[in-house]
């Protein structure tokens, strides 16, 4: 990642665009603005973007559709902006692959803090090969390459993981057979204390199951231990 992280703001509110560009630029971020999906795609083609701040309510294609589109072929971090008290929006955004969410109205400093936390996590993941005892893990029908940050099946077909999903899977592998509580998983993967009623770990577990389990409704790799948390139960080979 460059020394000047490049942030793409996708929001049709020109007032919010102007505020965020001025604020983030003061703290060393490079900011590109777009108001809709077409402008977002052009920005992603023209620039090396480090993180996208994506509003849910957009003209034409909404933020959910654009989040899903980005996640089809990219692990780029995404923070979604949602309406006040719309829990459904927050949950759907996370299910589609967003890394975090923030409700409007919000303090620009909180957005900046979340951007920094996610970018720091991405950098940490880039160094996971030096912090783990393995560079590759083979489990079930899957191979996770830590250095390439790729999850591939037996045929070599790559399944894209968001930065949060990748961090969660590595954490579970590092603690294979150990039961980890939701709070422990939040602390390890996000490096921050969990928020009250934070459901993001449950949602990311659900997303991982849909990608790696034969039957996500009857998981054999990541099991729920009632009243305790989650356990990675699949035998894994580490190299």
Q: What is the pLDDT of residue 131?
A: 54
End position of a domain, from candidates 65, 97, 126: 126
Q: Are residues 95 and 135 in the same domain?
A: no
Q: Are residues 20 and 94 in the same domain?
A: yes
Contact 42, 74 (CB under 8 A): no
Q: Are residues 122 and 168 in the same domain?
A: no
Q: What is the pLDDT of residue 126?
A: 55
Q: What is the pLDDT of residue 112?
A: 95
Q: What is the pLDDT of residue 47?
A: 92
> Looking at the 3D structure of the chain, how many domains does it have?
2
User: What CATH number is given to the structural domain containing 54?
Assistant: 3.40.50.2300
- Render pLDDT for 67-77 as a digit per residue (tens, 0 to 9): 999 988 787 89
Residue 183, in any domain of the structure: yes
Q: Are residues 119 and 150 in the same domain?
A: no
Q: How far apart are alpha carbons 183 and 94 in whole angstroms? A: 18
Q: How far apart are alpha carbons 221 and 204 in whole angstroms? A: 14
**Residue spans of the chain under pLDDT 50:** 1-2, 128-130, 192-197
Domain hosting 62: range is 6-126
Q: What is the pLDDT of residue 118?
A: 87
Q: How far apart are alpha carbons 58 and 79 in whole angstroms? A: 15
Q: How far apart are alpha carbons 185 and 197 in whole angstroms? A: 14
Q: How many residues does the chain have?
A: 239
End position of a domain, from candidates 69, 103, 126: 126
Q: What is the pLDDT of residue 192?
A: 41
Q: Are residues 193 and 85 in the same domain?
A: no
Q: Are residues 133 and 223 in the same domain?
A: yes
Contact 181, 228 (CB under 8 A): yes
pTM: 0.64
Q: Are residues 82 and 132 in the same domain?
A: no
Q: Are residues 157 and 111 in the same domain?
A: no
- Render pLDDT for 165-214 as a digit per residue (tens, 0 to 9): 888 898 899 888 999 888 788 777 665 434 434 567 888 899 899 999 99
Residue 93, in any domain of the structure: yes
Q: What is the pLDDT of residue 76?
A: 86
End position of a domain, from candidates 67, 96, 126: 126
Q: Are residues 44 and 116 in the same domain?
A: yes
Q: Which helix (H) or strand (E) element contains residue 143?
A: strand 142-145
Residue 154, in any domain of the structure: yes
Q: Are residues 104 and 14 in the same domain?
A: yes
Residue 1, in any domain of the structure: no
Q: Are residues 102 and 153 in the same domain?
A: no
């Amino acid at each position: 990642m460059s020394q000047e992280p490049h942030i793409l703001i996708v929001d049709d509110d020109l007032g919010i665009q102007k505020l965020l560009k001025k604020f983030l630029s003061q703290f060393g971020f490079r900011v590109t603005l777009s108001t809709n999906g077409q402008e977002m795609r052009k920005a992603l083609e023209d620039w090396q973007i480090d993180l996208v701040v994506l509003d849910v309510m957009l003209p034409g294609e909404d933020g959910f559709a654009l989040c899903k589109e980005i996640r089809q072929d990219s692990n780029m971090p995404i923070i979604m902006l949602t309406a006040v008290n719309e829990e459904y929006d927050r949950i759907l955004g996370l299910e589609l692959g967003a890394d975090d969410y923030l409700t409007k109205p919000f303090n620009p400093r909180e957005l900046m803090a979340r951007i920094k936390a996610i970018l720091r996590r991405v950098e940490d993941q880039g160094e996971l090969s030096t912090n783990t005892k393995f560079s590759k893990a083979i489990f079930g029908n899957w191979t996770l390459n830590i250095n390439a940050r790729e999850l591939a099946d037996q045929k070599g077909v790559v399944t894209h993981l968001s930065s949060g999903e990748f961090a969660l899977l590595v954490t579970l592998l590092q603690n294979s057979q150990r039961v980890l509580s939701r709070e422990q998983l939040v602390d390890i993967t996000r490096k921050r204390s969990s928020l009250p009623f934070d459901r993001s770990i449950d949602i990311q577990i659900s997303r991982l199951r849909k990608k790696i389990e034969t039957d996500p409704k009857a998981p054999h790799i990541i099991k729920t231990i009632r009243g305790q948390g989650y356990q990675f139960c699949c035998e894994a080979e580490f190299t």
